[in-house]
């Protein structure tokens, strides 16, 4: 099972990013857990200085933009 993490402080962009990630997981058929991380200390622990960001299995894949479900789906493969 993959762990998909949305890193963000709770803004509307972060909420949209989480929705897009959940949609991408549904479309891809990949077994994954999507979680949202809002703790700034955890976010900076990933080395992320700009949100929103996306991490898959602990590896940061995207920073500073809201990816579409299609973009996230490609990263899940």
* Positions marked catalytic: 11, 14
Answer yes or no: are the C-beta atoms of 6 and 34 closer than 8 Å: yes
Taking each helix axis as running N to C, give the angle between helix 12-28 and helix 69-76, from 0 to 180 degrees, rounded to the nearest 10: 50
Note the residue count of the chain: 77
């Amino acid at each position: 099972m993959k762990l998909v993490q949305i890193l963000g402080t709770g803004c509307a962009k972060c909420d949209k990013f989480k929705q897009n990630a959940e949609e991408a997981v549904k479309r891809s058929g990949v077994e994954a857990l999507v979680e949202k991380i809002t703790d700034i200390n955890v976010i900076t622990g990933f080395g992320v200085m700009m949100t929103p960001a996306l991490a898959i299995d602990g590896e940061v894949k995207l920073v500073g933009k809201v990816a579409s479900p299609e973009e996230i789906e490609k990263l899940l493969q």
